[in-house]
Structure 1
Amino acid sequence: MIALIARLLGVNTLAAGLITYGAAALLLGGSLWGYGAYKHHEGYSAGQLAERLVWQEQQRRAQIKAEAKAKAQQVEIDAAALEYAKQQHADEQHIASLEEDIRLQKDEDLGPSDPKTGPACHAGIPARVSIGIDGVGR
C-alpha cells in the first residue's frame, strides 16, 4: 500500500510511508479527540440535568413550605378577625344596655308627673336635653 501511494505521489518509499503513517495518526488522533469531546459534552449535559433536577426539587420544597406558612398565618388572621367581630358585637350589646340604663335612670330621676302638682321639679338637666347632648357627643 505504501508502494502504491509512493507511485501515485511520485515520492520515494520513505516519504510515502511517513505521509501514510502521519495521515493515519492524524485520522486516529482526530477521531479520539472527537470521541473525547463527545463524551465530555454528554457528561456535561448529564451534570446539568442532574443539577437542574436538584434545584427544581429544592424550589418545590420551598414553595410547599411557604404555602404551609401562609396557610398557618391565614388561620391566625381568621381567628383574630373572628375574635374581633365577637368583641365588637359584645361591645355593641354592652353599649345598648348602658344607654337603656341611662334612659331608665333619667326617667326615674324625672319621676312621674303628678296631675295635681304638675311635673316633678328636680335640679339638673332635663331628660330630653341630656339625651340630645348625648346624641351630639357621639
Structure 2
Amino acid sequence: MPTMFALVRFLGLQGLLALAAFVFYEGIPAANYVTPYLRIVPAIGPMVDDLAQGRVGRARETGRLDERLVWQERQRRAELQRDAERKSAQAKINEVERDYLSRQSTDAIRISDLEKALEEEQTSSPAAGCGPAVSRKLRDAIDRIGRD
C-alpha cells in the first residue's frame, strides 16, 4: 500500500486524470483474462467488461458488428441475384430444348413421309431404267427439308 501512495503522489492530480482518461479510452488489456469469470456477477460484470475493453474497444466491436450486417446483406442480395440469373438461364434452356424437340419431331414426320414417297415411287415405276431417277413429289419433299 505504501507503494501505491508513493505512485499517486508521484503522478499527481494531472497524472491520475491522464491515466484515468487513458484507461477510459483504451481499457486495461490484462483485465480480459478476468472478465470471463466476473461477467456472471450482476453488478461487477458489465463494469469490468467495459474496463477491459475501453471506449475504443467498444466502438471497434460495434463497428465490426455493423460491417458484418452490411456484409451479410450484400451476400443475401448477391444470392438472390444469382438465383434470378439461374432461373432466367434455365428458362432459356427449357425454351431451346422445346424448340429442338419440336423440330426433331417435325423432322421425324418429314423423314417418314419421304420414306413413304420413296417406297411409292419404287413400287409405281413400271420398268426399271425408265423415267427420272427421282420423282417430282420426292424432289419437292427433299427440297423443303434442306431449307429448314
**TM-score range with shorter-chain normalisation?**
0.5 to 0.7
Q: Which TM-score applies when normalising by structure 2?
A: 0.63
1:23-55 CA distance string (max 9 Å, x none):
100011111111111111111110000000000
**Corresponding position: 1:81 with 2:77:** no
The answer as to 2:117 corresponding to 1:98 is no
In angstroms, what is the RMSD of aligned CA positions? 2.2
Following the alignment from structure 2 to structure 1, what is the Cα–Cα distance between the partners of residues 87 and 124?
55
Task: For residue 9 of structure 1, report the CA deviation from its aligned partner.
Answer: 2.1
Deviation at 1:61, TM superposition (A): 0.9
Partners of 1:32 and 1:26 lie apart in 2 by 10
Following TM superposition, by how much is the alpha carbon of 1:70 offset from its aligned partner in structure 2, in angstroms? Answer: 0.6
- Secondary structure of 1:61's counterpart equals helix
- Structure ranking higher on relative contact order (CA contacts 8 Å, 6+ apart): 2
Identify unmatched segments of 5+ residues in structure 2: 27-53, 134-148
Could you say which residue in structure 2 is the equivalent of 1:8? 6
Q: How does 1:27-106 map to 2 (within 5 A)?
A: 27-30=23-26, 31-102=54-125, 105-106=126-127
Q: TM-score, normalised by structure 1?
A: 0.67
Task: Give me the whole-angstrom Cα distance separating, in 2, the residues matched to 1:5 and 1:16.
Answer: 14
Q: Which of the pair has more CA radius of gyration?
A: 1
Q: Distance in 2 between matches of 1:42 and 1:96?
A: 80
Identity %: 11
Determine the C-alpha separation between the residues in 1 that align with 2:74 and 2:124: 74
* Equivalent position SS for 1:79: helix
| Distance across 2 between alignment mates of 1:75 and 1:6 | 88
- In structure 1, the residue matched to 2:16 is 20
